[in-house]
Amino acid sequence: MSDYRIETKCIQSGYHPGNGEARVLPIYQSTTFKYETADEMGKLFDLEESGYFYTRLQNPTSDAVAEKIADMEGGVAGMLTSSGQAANFYAVFNICEAGDHVICASAIYGGTLNLLGVTLKKLGILCSFVDADASEEELAKAFRPNTRAVFAETISNPALVVLDIEKFARVAHAHGVPLIVDNTFATPVNCRPIRWGADIVTHSTTKYMDGHAVQVGGAIVDSGNFDWEAHADKFPGLTTPDDSYHGIIYTEKFGKLAYITKATVQLQRDLGAVPSPMNSFLLNLGLESLPLRVERHCYNAQKVAEYLDAHDKVASVNYAGLPGDKYHELAKKYMPGGTCGVISFELRGGREAAVRFMDSLRLAAIVTHVADARTSVLHPASHTHRQLTDQQLEAAGISPGMIRLSVGIEHIDDIIEDLGQALAKA
């Protein structure tokens, strides 16, 4: 980890060219890497030595970007995946197997809700959903002897629930399991969950990190703080021999790098959700300007939230930057510089007014995306969360008329003028 501030890390971390080498991170658009002797290559397959041999496991462009993100989060190691979904799947599956159980905050991204609640169940991993606002005593009741991880989002998509990270970390650690936090919406510019006790941090880099809506990607960062060996019986995948590598034990051989090494050499080898080197390069460009963009997203979102809050056609606004918001105090503690550019709100006319409003927008586009430079809107009940029952929608903090607005970095007056003319028609 470097000692630089986040703005500097976003530019400088991960890639350190030597004398006469390319100043800008090169795109290693190569599936494979060359060796002089069979023995050298063999050692790589045995994990006796580290080196590149096949891009499904590791690639220099992607690794440089993973190292940058790990440094930004204050972790010891990181890896990139082909999507945020793959990152969250790996983060959990790396320490869970059939018969295990995880606990997840219920206000969460729809894709993650399906992954943990439906798809992992088919692999024999069960998930209990808990209210992020529950007390420590209530959270403790969700634990079972086979619980292996607690999962939550720093700011949930789209309900915008701000997580009390310290509370979740305390309960997870009291039960001998790690806290995994999806930090997509806050980004490490606004919040670094490891500082507050999170053990593993994940990202959909598709969102603010890329910021231009040009690549789908994910990242996992390990804090290196969770002591797997102290809870060895819970995590046999890390603390007992891996037959697929002639019996190496990850914690013994790799120490603090055990978790990311296993996810790389075992999960990527067998499941292969890798980013293309070109996408990693594009992500890196996005990271360079992340602090500037996040600042503007937050500035614009605050203005929009205040505008909507004062508008008579708007029934309610969720944005932790508003002093009256339920999560204002938590946001001040965990994200003093701002939360994110996403706002959700409800029109007085409910679902029908929401549709009329969205169809009347000119600048803001209806897209299945959030967190890029362009202002966009989405109706979770009929788009991202369409598969959920009304009860699940409620648990995820979503009402039928809720609109999710991702405030871009255009001029604030243009954004507000567009919202104003659409509200007039709603």
Q: Would you say 105 or 130 has its CB closer to ligand PLP?
A: 105
Q: How many residues bind ligand PLP (CB under 6 A)?
A: 17
Q: Would you say 239 or 384 has its CB closer to ligand PLP?
A: 384
Q: Which range touches ligand PLP (CB under 6 A), out of 48-56, 92-100, 107-115, 279-287? A: 107-115
From the number of C-beta atoms within 10 Å of its C-beta (0-12, 13-18, 19+), residue 47 rates as middle
Q: How far is the CB of 407 from ligand PLP (least distance, A)?
A: 15
Q: Would you say 184 or 300 has its CB closer to ligand PLP?
A: 184
Indicate which single residue of 85, 190, 375, 399 sits in contact with ligand PLP (rule: CB under 6 A). Answer: 85
Indicate which single residue of 100, 182, 210, 346 sits in contact with ligand PLP (rule: CB under 6 A). Answer: 182
Indicate which single residue of 92, 113, 216, 258 sits in contact with ligand PLP (rule: CB under 6 A). Answer: 216
Footprint of ligand PLP on 371-400 (CB under 6 A): none
Interface with ligand PLP, residue 218, by CB under 6 A:
yes
Interface with ligand PLP, residue 184, by CB under 6 A:
yes
Q: Which range touches ligand PLP (CB under 6 A), out of 21-29, 82-90, 330-338, 412-420? A: 82-90
Q: Would you say 75 or 218 has its CB closer to ligand PLP?
A: 218
Q: Name the site residues for ligand PLP (rule: CB under 6 A).
A: 83-85, 88, 109, 111-112, 153, 157, 182, 184-185, 204, 206-207, 216, 218
